[in-house]
Amino acid sequence: MSSKEICPCGSDKGYKNCCSIPHQNIAIAVTSEQLMHSRYTAFVLGKGDFLMISHHSMTRSHVNISELIRWAQSMKWMKLEIIKTQDGGPNDESGIVEFKAHFKSRGKKEVLHQRGKFIREYGNWVYFGLE
Ligand SMILES: [Zn+2]
């Protein structure tokens, strides 16, 4: 393996120059796809605080974040694949991101294939729920 650090989301910029930036300031994620990347990385790294603040306040109470983190930490996350995005740009108010999250569970390859809905809350992109 090369010495170059890869961000869990797949970027070769490395975590420090990639998802750690929106993790410190969610306003940095200017597209819903960027927020999706940073949420995936938060799952991989077990950053529950970021998963909470990047979740819309209306649907946040539907998730048990500690259970979700426990589940996420028991998997070996391989990669995030963005299949399709719809809206979710710097001038949009909502967007859809279709993605596949590849992981291994007890050595077996699994894929989580979902379409997530993102909307702006207080100007920042947040995850609303499954489309
Ligand atoms: Zn990243």
pLDDT in tens, 16-75: 999 999 999 999 999 999 999 999 999 999 999 999 999 999 999 888 989 989 999 999
How far is residue 118's CA from residue 27's CA, in Å, rounded to a whole number? 14
| pLDDT score recorded for residue 34 | 97
Does 24 fall in a domain?
yes
Residue 52: CATH number of its domain: 3.10.450.50
Give the Å distance between the CA of 82 and the centre of ligand 1. Answer: 13
Supply 117's token pair: 């809905």
| pLDDT score recorded for residue 1 | 46
Give the Å distance between the CA of 7 and the centre of ligand 1. Answer: 5
Largest CA distance in the chain: 43
How far is residue 55's CA from residue 13's CA, in Å, rounded to a whole number? 25
| pLDDT score recorded for residue 3 | 55
DSSP E strands: which ranges in the chain?
76-87, 94-105, 108-121, 124-130
User: Which residues make beta-bridge pairs with 108?
Assistant: 105
Give the Å distance between the CA of 41 and the centre of ligand 1. Answer: 6
Q: What is the mean pLDDT of residues 73-91?
A: 96
Does 6 fall in a domain?
no
Helix, strand, coil fractions of the chain, as percent rounded to 5: 35, 35, 30
Residue span of the structural domain in which 30 resides: 15-130
Does 8 fall in a domain?
no
The count of structural domains within the chain is: 1
Give the Å distance between the CA of 8 and the centre of ligand 1. Answer: 6
| pLDDT score recorded for residue 4 | 73
Q: Is the pLDDT of residue 85 over 90?
A: yes
Give the Å distance between the CA of 94 and the centre of ligand 1. Answer: 21
Residue 19's nearest CA partner among 4, 3, 2, 35 is 35
Residue 39's nearest CA partner among 61, 7, 13 is 7
Give the Å distance between the CA of 17 and the centre of ligand 1. Answer: 8
pLDDT in tens, 98-129: 999 999 999 999 999 999 999 999 999 999 99
Does 10 fall in a domain?
no
Does 47 fall in a domain?
yes
Q: Beginning with the edge strand found earlier in the chain, give each strand of the sheet holding 108-121 in spatial order.
A: 76-87, 94-105, 108-121, 124-130
